[in-house]
């Protein structure tokens, strides 16, 4: 078989979004995740590939920058092909052609679903209201980052559209909410603008159900992160906990569990629930010893013991951070804490 077989370690990156490259990859074993930005929300989305699936094809054939970052979730082996090798391979192997078409059909169906939500209308006005209503949905749910993205997208495509003035007002209020200014609630924004939402109400329930289907673990995870950044620690913790205990998490979402547990620990520290935070961090470290947040979890445990006046345990955990490879930014903070304790 043509191409070069390459091995990739867990946690490594095969290529970054924006990189230039003309190689095409076929996943032979392991788990890799394609990280890209949703054209609906602008948020990060992850797609996990199955063995035998291709990636890097569109950018390689079109000679364009990569559209996604490819992360190795579990030790992987991939066959790396040049454009010529790829063309020769698929023209001589009907099984590979079939698999190639299946993968691209799935991608096109996903893209088509998104495109239809904006373009499958008889008039431009219909597209405008559908796009604007998505912004309204996110605003009602206090999903400010997503609402900001949608309103900005609306104004980009419909600068003089029927809802342009409303979109501008909403956008200004959303930005204030993200900066901690004003209430930022949907009701308060309508009251300030002297509006009601009756004109948009008839189709709202159907649209909500459609959008709910598209909100995945990544979106909810970043919603919780946003709540934490707004110092709404209790709300953030509740959302993280809901995600963690959800029975609906599929295999593609399992990679978020250690991240969720780490963030739950941070929320508990902010809420001064130190005992529970130590338990969360400890369990996370035991279950996911290779996770990127392990050193930060150890550092946070050290901070908790320092706060509680347990110098010996605090020193022990800061020392673990420094001795654990690879070297990272948290090492400097651990060294500073150790210096203060010595």
Taking the C-alpha atoms of residue 134 and residue 163, their distance in angstroms, rounded to an integer, is 13
Residue 314: predicted pLDDT: 95
Residue 143: predicted pLDDT: 74
DSSP H helices, the chain, are 57-62, 83-92, 94-119, 124-140, 144-157, 164-178, 186-193, 204-214, 217-229, 233-245, 257-270, 274-287, 294-307, 311-323, 329-341
pLDDT along the chain (342 residues), means of 10: 83 85 90 76 72 84 84 90 80 55 50 43 53 76 76 82 87 80 56 54 43 51 74 90 70 75 94 95 93 92 95 95 87 92 86
Domains in the chain: ranges and CATH: 4-118 (2.60.120.10), 122-212 (no CATH), 217-341 (1.25.40.10)
Residue 221: predicted pLDDT: 74
Residue 317: predicted pLDDT: 96
Taking the C-alpha atoms of residue 37 and residue 17, their distance in angstroms, rounded to an integer, is 10
Residues 6+ apart with CB under 8 A from 22: 60, 63, 82, 83
Residue in the structure block whose two tokens are 């993200």: 178
Residue 124: predicted pLDDT: 43
pTM over 0.75: no
Residue 88: predicted pLDDT: 76
Residue 273: predicted pLDDT: 95
Taking the C-alpha atoms of residue 145 and residue 139, their distance in angstroms, rounded to an integer, is 9
Residue 253: predicted pLDDT: 62
Residues 6+ apart with CB under 8 A from 45: 35, 36, 37, 38, 216, 218
Taking the C-alpha atoms of residue 127 and residue 138, their distance in angstroms, rounded to an integer, is 17
Residue 45: predicted pLDDT: 75
Residue 187: predicted pLDDT: 56
């Amino acid at each position: 078989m043509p191409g070069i077989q390459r091995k990739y370690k867990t946690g490594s990156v095969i290529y970054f979004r924006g990189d230039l490259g003309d190689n095409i990859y076929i996943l032979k074993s392991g788990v890799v995740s394609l990280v890209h930005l949703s054209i609906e929300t602008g948020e990060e989305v992850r797609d996990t590939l199955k063995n035998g699936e291709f990636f890097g094809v569109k950018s390689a054939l079109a000679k364009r920058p990569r559209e996604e970052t490819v992360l190795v979730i579990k030790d992987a082996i991939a066959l790396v092909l040049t454009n010529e090798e790829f063309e020769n391979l698929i023209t001589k192997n009907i099984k590979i052609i079939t698999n190639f078409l299946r993968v691209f059909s799935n991608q096109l169906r996903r893209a088509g679903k998104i495109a239809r939500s904006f373009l499958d209308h008889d008039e431009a006005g219909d597209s405008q209201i559908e796009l604007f209503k998505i912004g309204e949905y996110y605003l009602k749910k206090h999903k400010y980052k997503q609402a900001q993205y949608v309103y900005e997208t609306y104004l980009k495509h419909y600068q003089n559209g029927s809802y342009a003035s409303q979109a501008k007002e909403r956008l200004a209020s959303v930005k204030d909410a993200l900066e901690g200014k004003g209430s930022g609630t949907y009701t308060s924004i309508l009251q300030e603008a002297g509006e009601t939402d009756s004109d948009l109400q008839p189709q709202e329930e159907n649209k909500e159900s459609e959008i709910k289907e598209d909100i995945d673990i990544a979106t909810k995870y970043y919603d919780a992160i946003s709540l934490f950044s707004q110092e709404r620690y209790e709300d953030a913790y509740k959302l993280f906990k809901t995600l963690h205990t959800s029975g609906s998490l599929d295999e593609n979402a399992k990679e978020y569990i250690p991240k969720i547990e780490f963030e739950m620990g941070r929320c508990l520290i902010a809420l001064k629930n130190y005992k529970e935070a130590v338990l969360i961090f400890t369990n996370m470290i035991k279950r996911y010893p290779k996770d990127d947040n392990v050193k930060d979890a150890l550092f946070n445990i050290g901070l908790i013991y320092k706060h509680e006046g347990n110098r010996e345990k605090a020193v022990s955990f800061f020392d673990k951070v420094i001795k654990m490879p690879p070297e990272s930014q948290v090492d400097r903070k651990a060294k500073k804490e150790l210096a203060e304790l010595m």
